[in-house]
Amino acid sequence: MRPPNSKANFGRTCFIALLAGHSLVQAATWPNHLIDELDANLYDRRGYKLRSLPAGMSPRCTRFAGNIPGGRTNAADWIRAAFHDMATYNIADGTGGLDASIRFPEEQNRPENTGDGFMNTIIFISPSSNRYFSLADTIAMAMVTAVEMCGGPKIPYRGGRIDALQPNSPGVPEPQQSIEEHIASFARQGFTKADMIGLTACGHSIGGVQNIAFPDIVPPSSDQSNPQGNVNFDSTGVLFDNKIATEYLDGTTQNPLVVGRNSTTNSDFRIFNSDNNVTMSKYPAVFRSKCAELLARMVDTVPKEVTLTDVIQPILFKPVGVQLIWVGGGNLALTGEVRVWNALPSRVTVKWKARDGRSDPAFSAVLKHDTSHTSDPLMPDSTITNRWLDFPSILISSTQSLSSLSFEVLNADGTTKVEDLGGAGYPLQDVIMVANTTCMSPTDVKVRFAIRADIQPIRVYAKTDMFDETRRPTVVTTEVAPPSNPTIVAGYTLWEVALMSASHLTLAVDTGGKTYETPFIGNGSPLGPSLPKCP
Ligand code: HEM
Ligand SMILES: *[C@@H]1O[C@H](CO)[C@@H](O)[C@H](O)[C@H]1NC(C)=O
Ligand SMILES: *[C@@H]1O[C@H](CO)[C@@H](O)[C@H](O)[C@H]1NC(C)=O
Ligand SMILES: *[C@@H]1O[C@H](CO)[C@@H](O)[C@H](O)[C@H]1NC(C)=O
């Protein structure tokens, strides 16, 4: 049994408070691909290198799958999908929970999962997932993105969910069930009666009931902008706000699960009224903080085998895609960027140590800021802008090479800071690296790379991402045969492999004792936004 983690009153104040003591947390290992991916999806929502989930909310949270007019929204589908994925949880044995099992047709075909919102959600969001960002983490991220971008509170986000390999047992509540059944269902999921009232109010702040899915609850519509006959739960259907509660309390609600003609399916009424309105009366005032807490608990309800990360805080100084590239002529190019949280320092200097650990005043370069390279986390109640700084063109001889990096930051206020992971420096391997002659041909991707000649490879392989037939991200591993005529150029041997896809391409060499791998680039290719075409 895994008690859901809850942090009470997680409003903006708490969020800022958590940011203080933050630099201690991130010193651990670098790079941490899971944390880097989660950070990018939470905090690069607009602008440079933005991640794709926020596009599902644009414009103004009205977007719906494929831009089909429907009176429906992705925001509503994503929030409902996260709940229905989680609601199979059984606190007694730790099975079920938020694990992307909702992607299986067997679950979607159950009466408790009526409607096409789950398939819509999976189709839209699955391309955002990858080998480090599970579909289950993506479902949780989509829920958080929808709530935060549609007017709701900041929700503390943890990652590390694992995608289920088979459907879970049924267990999602349905509107015609009795209040006793609902209380029992939420209790099995780990939620009290007050939690049930709150969570249902929070979820039903966005979206509504559709005639095509629930013809017995709401009537058909002849309105061309609402062909599916959607009736919103509150008067601000696309906004995450407390109107679901205030309209219920003041008697103006049109919520089809409160004032529907057939009282059998008025489940929201039975739920909201189940403690004589005690909980609901408090909700207009506590809506944002309670919803942040309950929705976080909802997505953190995971199978007992899963250990979630700590709440993801923004990485304040984030080197991205930092790597060596084989450019021929006995040279390595050092490329990469740094994302700096909500500030533009006066100067950031990268300094490196040679392969043998030597440093030298010449082993340094000043990063450049292209003013269009800014991203925005679109966090509720905040105006934060992140600046990205590019490495200039840096060529290093392959015999001298490089072993680690550090950064010297001169802030706008004149203070300085060294970013070096607490003294260790950011380690960089120079054993295997992609070559800039890697390119896309009409039939395949010609991947060229260099391996240090003093290394004895036991196994060399490429990893790319693909999606299985249920849209779960999986890794494809391709073994690479050694070159038939190996020639050593400036201490490196050149290798080549043709791949059908280069999605999230990384190259690895197993030396018996140790495996070296090229960096995982979360969006874009190892050589930039996309691979060049072959000449
Ligand atoms: C006993 C508890 C609940 C019942 C019986 C219930 C029932 C329903 C029903 C019948 C619909 C209409 C779906 C459609 O027409 O497509 C709906 C929509 C929705 N539900 Fe619930 N729900 C419950 C709790 C929750 C919870 C806890 C959440 C999330 C925290 C949630 C989130 C949503 C959302 C966002 C929609 C709108 C979907 C859309 O507009 O397409 N529900 N719910
Ligand atoms: C009310 O809804 C229930 C459950 O869907 C259904 O069995 C019943 O026939 C409905 N009653 C009326 C009068 O439509
Ligand atoms: C709770 O509030 C609703 C909406 O105002 C009302 O219809 C209902 O009678 C109230 N319940 C109690 C027990 O007062
Ligand atoms: C690789 O980089 C080197 C050094 O910058 C450059 O001279 C060469 O043209 C590049 N090759 C390709 C195919 O881009």
Mind listing the pLDDT tens digit for each residue in 414-453? 999 999 999 999 999 999 999 999 999 999 999 999 999 9
The residue-averaged pLDDT of 131-156 equals 98
Single-letter residue type at 492: Y
pLDDT over 80 at 66, yes or no: no
Mind listing the pLDDT tens digit for each residue in 188-213? 999 999 999 999 999 999 999 999 99
The residue-averaged pLDDT of 277-303 equals 98
CA 312 to chain centroid: 11
How much is the pLDDT for 403?
A: 97
Residue 104's pLDDT band (cuts 50, 70, 90)? very high
Residue nearest (by alpha carbon) to ligand 1 atom 23: 200
What is the C-alpha to C-alpha distance for residues 183 and 199, in angstroms, rounded to an integer?
12
What is the 176 CA–ligand 2 centroid distance (Å)?
Answer: 8
Mind listing the pLDDT tens digit for each residue in 481-498? 999 999 899 999 999 999
What is the C-alpha to C-alpha distance for residues 174 and 181, in angstroms, rounded to an integer?
9
Residue nearest (by alpha carbon) to ligand 3 atom 4: 249
Residue nearest (by alpha carbon) to ligand 3 atom 13: 276
The residue-averaged pLDDT of 273-300 equals 98
Residue 27's pLDDT band (cuts 50, 70, 90)? very low
pLDDT over 50 at 516, yes or no: yes
How much is the pLDDT for 4?
A: 39
How much is the pLDDT for 13?
A: 36
Q: Outline where DSSP puts E strands in 196-289.
A: 208-210, 230-232
What is the 293 CA–ligand 3 centroid distance (Å)?
Answer: 25
The residue-averaged pLDDT of 82-99 equals 98
* Residue 468: both structure tokens together: 């299985």
Residue 7's pLDDT band (cuts 50, 70, 90)? very low
What is the 439 CA–ligand 2 centroid distance (Å)?
Answer: 62
CA 163 to chain centroid: 14
pLDDT over 80 at 391, yes or no: yes
How much is the pLDDT for 29?
A: 84
Question: Is residue 389 classed exposed, middle or buried when 0-12, 13-18 and 19+ CB atoms within 10 A define those classes?
Answer: buried
pLDDT over 90 at 70, yes or no: no
Q: Is the peptide bond before 442 cis (omega within 30 degrees of 0)?
A: no
How much is the pLDDT for 67?
A: 76
Closest CA to 194 of 277, 133, 258: 277
How much is the pLDDT for 28?
A: 59
Q: Which residues line ligand 1 (CB under 6 A)?
A: 72, 76-77, 79-80, 83, 115, 117, 173-175, 182, 199-200, 202-204, 206-210, 213-214, 267, 271, 298
The pLDDT mean for the chain works out to: 94
How much is the pLDDT for 10?
A: 34
DSSP tag of 151? T
Find the range with the poorest average confidence among 28-32, 346-350, 524-528. 28-32
Closest CA to 81 of 46, 48, 125, 41: 125
The residue-averaged pLDDT of 103-117 equals 98
Ligand 4 atom showing the smallest separation from residue 535 Cα: 13
Side-chain-facing half-sphere of 372: CA atoms under 13 Å: 1
- Of 334, 394, 436, the one to substitute when testing ligand 4's pocket (max ligand atoms within 8 A of C-beta) is 436
How much is the pLDDT for 449?
A: 98
pLDDT over 80 at 109, yes or no: yes
pLDDT over 50 at 59, yes or no: yes
How much is the pLDDT for 9?
A: 32
pLDDT over 70 at 470, yes or no: yes
**Among all ligands shown, which has an atom nearest to the Cα of 448?**
4
How much is the pLDDT for 121?
A: 98
